[in-house]
Amino acid sequence: MMWSYLHITFIILSFLAGSARVHVVYKLIGDKAHLTLKERWNITVKWRKDYNLIAVVENRKPSIKQPGKFHLRVSDNSLFIHNLTVSDSGDYQAQIGQWEEEKIRYKLIVQEAVSKPVINTSLDRQSNTSSVCHIWVKCSADEDSVTYNCDHQHCIRTNATFTRVNITVNYRDTGVLECTASNHVSMKWTSIPMSNTCSQKEPGLAITIDYIMLLIIMFCTMVLVVLVICTIKHFCRKRKKKQTEGKYQENKGVNSVYAEKYCLYSKQFSENVSQSHEHFHGCYARFRVGAILRLPPDCHI
């Protein structure tokens, strides 16, 4: 009968305790936790983990089940938990008096240090422009990951699958992308220059652009060569034409002199022939008339 009464009392007190405020404490593996009562009590104090008794202070005398793990400080009845492991996580309650009234409750969570995050980046080819570089940034740590879309001003989260680790990506004014992974007990980060990804180009696109640039350069070179050749030919033709015109003018002048001399000689020759012909006929006429029997001295044929 007495056992049933105590059992019912324990259940009622446990139910009431369930409505009490819970203080959440996060600790790193290997650290030490210190759980306090917030007030000093000169009566019996019991500490339980998940309702299992682990330490008692009665008449200022401590009693501990695992001395290597737990320690009670009698001056304030606070509980120390050493060399924390993940298995030390759980609910801790401090109860006082004969009726084990719960005075405070802690939820201890022991976590591992977060691992260093890993950044993977790739170009966002659909959003990229000639002036703005957009990249996809995936940051992973402890099997959790998050994806961001970043440019040279800010980063926007597009997807997240983290459950234990909080992961964020930020763009810094120094031109680097910084990925930060953190939990309640640790924080680590990784950073890379954004230019490393923005300077990368799609292989096929790069080859195409290089090929087009090569064609443009070849075309411009050919046009330039043709223009130079045409200019040289035009200059040579113009110069040759000037030389030809100069020789023609010179020859024309010489021929004019020769023509004038020829005309003069021809005129003199014609006059001489005409005079000779008249002189012959005069002599011949006189010969026929019989004025003289012989030709005059000046009539020589």
Counting the structural domains of the chain, the total is 2
Dihedral of alpha carbons 256, 261, 267, 273, sign: negative
Phi/psi at 67 (5° precision): -60, -30
Which residue, 198, 229, 248, sits at the end of a domain?
A: 198
CA distance 79 to 88: 13
Q: For 58-108, how does the pLDDT look when each residue is reduced to its tens digit (9 = 90+)?
A: 888 899 999 999 999 988 999 999 999 999 999 999 999 888 889 899 999
Contact by Cβ (8 Å): 189, 177: no
CB 74 within 8 Å of CB 60: yes
Domain end call among 82, 111, 140:
111
CATH code, domain carrying 91: 2.60.40.10
Picking from 136, 27, 177, 7, the residue whose alpha carbon sits closest to that of residue 89 is 27
Q: Are residues 100 and 122 in the same domain?
A: no
Positions of the chain with pLDDT lower than 70, given as ranges: 1-20, 127-131, 200-211, 245-301
**Torsional sign, CA 197, 128, 155, 119:** negative
20 and 103 within one domain = yes
Decide: 185 and 27 in contact? Cβ < 8 Å: yes
**pLDDT value at residue 70:** 96
Q: Does residue 295 fall inside a structural domain?
A: no
Same domain, 164 and 77: no
Task: Give residue-wise pLDDT tens across range 210-222.
Answer: 668 788 998 899 8
